Structure 1
Amino acid sequence: MGTTFFRTSDLAKELGVHVNTIRLYEASGFLAPIPRGTNGYRQYSVLHLEQARLAWLALRWPYVGDKHQLVMLVKNAANGDLGMAMEFAYQYLAQVRVERTYAESALEFLERWAAGRTMDASPHPMHIRQAALHLNVSVDMLRNWERNGLLTVPRDPTNHYRLYGGAEFGRLRVIRMLVKCGFSLMAILRMLQQFDSGNTKSLRESLSIPPEENADKFIVATADHWLASLLELEQRAQEIIEQIGRMIEIFPAG
Structure 2
Amino acid sequence: MATTFLRTSDLAQELDVHVNTIRIYEASGFLSNVPRGTNGYRQYRAIHLEQARLAHLALHWPYVGNKQHLIDLVKSAANDDLGMAMEFAYEYLADVRAERTHAEAAIAFLERWAAGYALDASSHPMHIRQAAAHLNVSIDMLRNWERNGLLTVPREPANQYRLYGSAELGRLRVIRMLVKSGFSLAAILRMLQQADSGNSRNLRDALNIPSEEDTHDYVVVAADRWLASLLKLEQRAQEMIELIGRMIEMLHTQ
* Common fold by TM > 0.5: yes
Per the TM alignment, residue 123 of structure 1 is displaced from its structure 2 partner at its CA by 3.1
Match of 2:209 in 1: 209
Deviation at 1:253, TM superposition (A): 7.6
Q: What does residue 226 of structure 1 align with?
A: 226
| Residue of structure 2 in register with 1:9 after alignment | 9
Contact 1:188 1:207 in 2 (8 A): yes
Checking the alignment, whether the CA contact within 8 Å between 1:183 and 1:226 is kept in structure 2 is yes
Offset of residue 121 of structure 1: 1.2
Residues 1:137 and 2:137 are matched in the alignment: yes
Paired position in structure 2 for 1:36? 36
Q: Which residue of 2 aligns with 1:105?
A: 105
**What's the C-alpha RMSD, in Å, of the aligned pairs?**
1.1
Partner residue in 1 for 2:80? 80
Point out 4+ residue stretches in structure 1 off by more than 3 angstroms.
none
Distance 2:228 2:214 in 1: 20
Pairwise CA distance, 1:215: 2.4
Shift of 1:182: 0.4
Residues 112-144 of structure 1 deviation map (CA, whole Å, 9 limit, x = unaligned):
000000101133100000000000000000000
Question: Partners in 1 of 2:68 and 2:33 — Cα distance?
Answer: 21
Do the aligned residues in 1 keep the contact of 2:214 with 2:220 (CA within 8 Å)?
A: no
Which whole-Å CA distance do the structure 1 matches of 2:34 and 2:214 have between them? 50
Cα distance in structure 2, aligned partners of 1:122 and 1:131: 10
Of 211-220 and 138-147, deviating more is: 211-220
Counterpart Cα distance in 1 of 2:180 and 2:102:
9
1:131 alignment partner, SS class: helix
Give 1:214 shift. 4.3
Distance in 2 (alpha carbons) for counterparts of 1:129 and 1:11: 57
**Secondary structure of the corresponding residue to residue 48 of structure 1:** helix
Aligned partners of 1:123 and 1:27: how far apart in 2?
62
The structural deviation recorded for 1:219 is 2.7
Aligned residues: 254
How far the C-alpha of 1:69 sits from its partner, in A, is 0.5
Aligned to 1:90: 90
Counterpart in the other structure of 2:237: 237
Conserved in 2, the CA contact under 8 Å of 1:210 and 1:218? no
Aligned AA for 1:56? H
- Give the drift of 1:217: 1.8
The 3-state SS of whatever aligns with 1:157 is coil
Q: TM-score, normalised by structure 1?
A: 0.98
Cα 1:228/1:33, change in 2 over 3 Å = same
Contact 1:31–1:52 under 8 Å retained in 2? yes
- C-alpha spacing 1:49/1:184, structure 2 compared with 1 (3 Å): same
SS of residue in 2 equivalent to 1:144: helix
Distance 2:102 2:55 in 1: 27
Q: Distance in 2 between matches of 1:219 and 1:39?
A: 46
Unpaired runs of 5+ residues, structure 1, are: none
Equivalent position amino acid for 1:21 in 2: T
Q: Tell me, yes or no, if the aligned pair for 2:76 and 2:85 is still in contact at 8 Å.
A: yes
- In the alignment, the residues of structure 2 paired with residue 215 and residue 23 of structure 1 have an alpha-carbon distance, to the nearest angstrom, of 35
